[in-house]
Structure 1
Amino acid sequence: MLYNIFAMLRRTDIKEPSIKDISQLYDVLTNEEKEKVLKNHKAIHYKKNDVIYHEGEVPDGLLCLGSGKVKVYKIGFGGRDQIVRMANPPGFIGYRAFFAEGPHVASAVVIEPCTIFYIPKALVFELLENNHKFSLNIIRSLAQELGFSRYRTVTLTQKHIRGRLAESLLVLKDIYGFEEDGITLNVFLSREDLANFSNMTTSNAIRTLSTFVNEEVIHVDGRIIRILNIEKLEKISKLG
């Protein structure tokens, strides 16, 4: 774990993220619109565990994730968190509430230092009115997130514990990918976060992880998880 962190700190090819990296936004804009976005956006840096927005707050701008990792969670009954989304760059966060012009129904917290680009509401709606390609990109993003949310709602309520945890590991793989070795998940979650993402208690998550380790499906070293047998993990997820 420490080796991975130090190796990243030594890297010289990591560039500062730019609003230009948010392709869903930037690529479809005219040169004039790009210039206006460059002049009017803000780059905000967050540390690990910083709160980007709280449930109940009303957004006044569009938030674009330029780098880092963010979890979006809702406090459920009994005070237990339910992680509803794991966000990765480049992309938008909190934009359902923004376009609905209502409050956030969940909170967003940083799990890996990130950069957020803030674009004022007036400018976003000006772009929506004048650039149909930008509008279509926003609609496409909302539709994709809605489809994934509906899928997760069904699987997290109908699958057994093993199936839920297996699926969560595969979803994390799809979102964040592997490190250079091709087996280590490129995200390091606490057992509690992994449980909250899988709709189970922390104790159940720990026991199920141990079972997967004994079955040689995964290898666990602290928060580092390596997937050793992805075919078996996919089978467990499919069987539920």
Structure 2
Amino acid sequence: MPSHILYKEDVARDIVGFWNSNDQAEIKAIAENLSIRKFKKNEIIYHERQKPTRMLYLVSGKIKIVKEGGVGRTPIVNAIKEKHFFGFRAFFADDCYATSAMAFEDCTVASIPIATAALLIANNNNITNFFAKQLALLLGNSGDRIVSLTQKHIRGRLADTILILKDNYGTMADEKTINISMSRDDLASMSNMSTSNAIRTLSAFAQEGLVEIVGKRIKVLDGEKLEDISEKG
């Protein structure tokens, strides 16, 4: 069997594993309809105001969810980690995307047509329950981020962003350095502050021994203190 078919079956097995299924018919249906595409860093995966036509799943790499159309910097409203679905709110709402998805770094995205996804969902309540939980988590996390970005002080916002990046992308072999190379502009955008404020606040965190700056990477030295700063805002 060709390697690309085997790869699609592996991705399909990963997908059905989210709703604790090993149904061979589901795996076959997904694998046969699966498209896999690679995106370069900063390449757009979908634009806001587009109508979704496929269910999207991040196989590998990192994706940022951004809000386009504003004045000045494009704010980053979420960061997606690999082996997770994204953009599915619009799918279930039968609505256009409210945000855009862009590659944080080179990434691989799998997708299946809406018709295939709808048929699978109609035939398996476990899939419905899985996405209902994901939508509830998405709503809760979105609410927390709105509070963080609009009500917290600069230190709280930056601490929150660093902790989200660590939680989403994990750490490198030293178990401290966050596994993403991130520009100061992106860090500022994700924290709803100017680049100069992000640089200044990150430098203050470094002077206080909370983080270490390693080029475009951040090493977390005192996660508990960062959590305290995030919670106090």
Q: Does 1:108 align with 2:126?
A: no
- What residue number does 1:72 align with? 65
- Deviates most, 25-34 or 99-108: 25-34
Q: Deviations over 1:169-224 (max 9, x none)?
A: 01111111111101100111111111111111111101101111111111112211
> 2:90 aligned with 1:97, yes or no?
yes
List structure 1 segments (4+ residues) > 2 angstroms apart after TM superposition: 15-30
Query: Unpaired segments of 5 or more residues in structure 2?
Result: 1-6
Aligned twin of 2:131: 138
Shift of 1:27: 3.9
Residues 1:45 and 2:38 are matched in the alignment: yes
Which residue does 2:141 correspond to in 1?
Answer: 148
Q: 2:199 aligns with which of 179, 202, 206?
A: 206
1:84 corresponds to which of 58, 77, 85 = 77
For residue 24 of structure 1, report the CA deviation from its aligned partner: 5.3
Q: Is the 8 A contact 2:121 2:128 kept in 1?
A: yes
Question: 2:210 — aligned with what?
Answer: 217
After TM superposition, the score normalised by the length of structure 1 is: 0.88
The answer to whether structure 1 residue 237 and structure 2 residue 230 are counterparts is yes
For residue 72 of structure 1, give the secondary structure of its aligned residue in structure 2: strand
RMSD: 1.8
Unaligned runs of 5+ residues in structure 1 are: 1-14
Partner Cα separation in structure 2 for residue 102 and residue 24 of structure 1: 27
SS of residue matched to 2:105: strand
Percent identity over the alignment is 43
TM-score, normalization by structure 2: 0.91
1:190 aligned to which of 176, 183, 186: 183
CA distance in 1, matches of 2:102, 2:90: 16
- Assess, with a 3 A threshold, how the Cα gap between structure 1 residues 105 and 83 changes in structure 2: closer, same or farther: same
CA deviations 1:132-178 (Å, max 9, x no partner) are 00111111111111110011111221110001101110111111111
